[in-house]
Structure 1
């Protein structure tokens, strides 16, 4: 499960109003009949139109300064394995989102309990994901892409008479490189912007910075760790516990759908990999044989080269460990593993 929280962009794009962001989220609806378009939903309602989303988010900004974000966006992106487990069912994803937003509310550190009823949010299901420069397949195709682009420039120059050369041979080289590229989809070299195959459903959530009463700020910003401060002579709790939220969202999915999560799919494993790769590697070795085998298969499917693991934990090779960390890190960045 991959979940990301991002503040409203305050540069040239998405300034002030939520309109530009909502327009961006409408990309999958382009060219579809109204009845085929995916609408927004919240905790209680379905089929909410985009104009209402914009109006309510834009109106809920009391007390916020000009350069403060008016909203945050969340992406809830289950792995293909998780999506397969629930049959890629859009209604189950909507149900899960509503439970996740309960976890989101419960992760605020405040003097008074925050519940989902305090949160103003709208969510939208998307069914496609595209390849980006971060994906392993794109990275490993890059050397071929660069050579192909250079040859394409050469072929164009020959056609336009700016260079002399054998156009047929240049085109043959291009075709050969296309065939040699390691990663293809339906016979075509994978490039940034290409839609990914398989189940790719995910949820985008736009959540107001202010609560539903438009009187209290609820910021999940990374700078707002759980802490206490003195305000008007009184101690006040503030902050948002992201670790608590990510762990809770994962447990909610597992409990709601009876999902048996492998160690390498857990948020705990990802956290450990970042902070202490040696402990991550040791924990992987300590798994029961069947779970360790399943973990290795998941890593293999994600394109991670798992080095030969020594029987004796004391023999753990630093080089092998760091190679594994690098491979898993790249898989995580590209969303190949759902942790």
Structure 2
């Protein structure tokens, strides 16, 4: 489970696009239709698009014109996590596509994932360092569950010519986006997840005010909550947040394993492959062939059940 803050882009004037209206983002998230494809909130299962825009855009008291008014978060389970969630909800094992479920089963899965997102928004609120404990009830936010992903120009498959931009991605692609207002529901507390410092205290109008947000705390807690809530045991490639091991430490370990595996495979192939052409391919491989080989090798290693930590 990967929880992500999508950092705001800037316009041609260098001002954050989140400093204006959320109308463009809300319409973009409204692109999918079907079972469970509605905006939802902490207490509502279906919220009209117009209400989402109106409430987020008007919840900006005390904010300056060039300050962010809202942020976008996303909650992204792995395909293995999605399959586990489906089994927990429907009892069906080894599901690889939502199309194999009935409409009623899809509705139940989406509803359960919405509840998980609600839990994560409570976790998001708790990771702000403020003078009082916050919960999801203090936030103004709207979520949207999606079941599809499309290939973009950033995907290796598109770069290698194996897929086209806009093609649907295969497998289970359940995930959720959230638009959350920077101001709390009372419009008296500014909550920016971009404030990295924790434990800092500023003086505002003569009063000591705590500030800061724990990005890692939010991500780790959401990751662990999925396991605790659904009895899920993470794979090695899903353990970026385990304990306090840094991402760089994890990355170095997995890189070393990948290099070792690749070198062993290359050594074996040198021993068994014959013919001048095959020897030339090994000693002087094309850039594309190396990329495809390493991509498949990395995928195979990451799919193993044993941990590399």
Give the structure-2-normalised TM-score: 0.70
TM superposition shift of 1:274:
4.1
Shift of 1:267: 2.6
Match of 2:202 among 230, 240, 246: 230
**Unaligned regions of 5+ residues in structure 2, if any?**
87-97, 99-108, 265-290, 305-309
Equivalences for 1:251-266 in 2 at 5 Å? Answer: 251-266=224-239
Q: SS of the residue aligned with 1:280?
A: helix
Q: Please provide the CA RMSD for this pair.
A: 3.3
* Partner residue, 2:51: 52
Pairwise CA distance, 1:215: 1.4
Provide closer, same or farther for how the CA distance between residues 270 and 136 of structure 1 changes in structure 2, counting only shifts above 3 A: farther
Q: How many residues align?
A: 246
Equivalent residue of 1:191, what SS? coil
Residue 305 and residue 40 in structure 1: after superposition, are their counterparts in 2 closer, same or farther (change >3 A)? Answer: farther
Is the 8 Å Cα contact of residues 8 and 70 (structure 1) preserved in structure 2? no
Aligned to 2:262: 307
Deviation at 1:50, TM superposition (A): 0.4
Distance 2:154 2:242 in 1: 21
CA distance in 2, matches of 1:6, 1:239: 18
**Taking structure 1 as reference, are residues 208 and 61 closer, same or farther at Cα in structure 2, changes over 3 Å only?**
same
1:267 pairs with 2:240 = yes
CA distance in 2, matches of 1:276, 1:14: 34
Distance 1:78 1:70, change over 3 A: same
| Structure 1 alignment gaps of length 5 or more | 146-188, 286-298, 310-322
Tell me what 2:23 maps to. 19
1:88-99 aligned within 5 A: 89-99=109-119
CA deviation string 1:248-274 (max 9, x = no partner): 000111111110112321133698574
2: CA distance, partners of 1:219 / 1:278 = 29
Larger CA Rg, structure 1 vs 2: 1
| Greater relative contact order (CA < 8 Å, ≥ 6 in sequence) | 1
Q: How far has the Cα of 1:78 moved from its partner?
A: 0.8
SS in 1 for 2:220: helix
- Tell me which residue corresponds to 2:170: 197
Change (3 A) 1:198 1:69: same
Q: 2:126 aligns with which of 97, 101, 106?
A: 106
Identify the residue that residue 216 of structure 1 maps to in structure 2. Answer: 189
TM-score (norm 1): 0.64
1:114 offset after TM fit, Å?
Answer: 1.1
DSSP-derived class of the 1:72 partner: strand
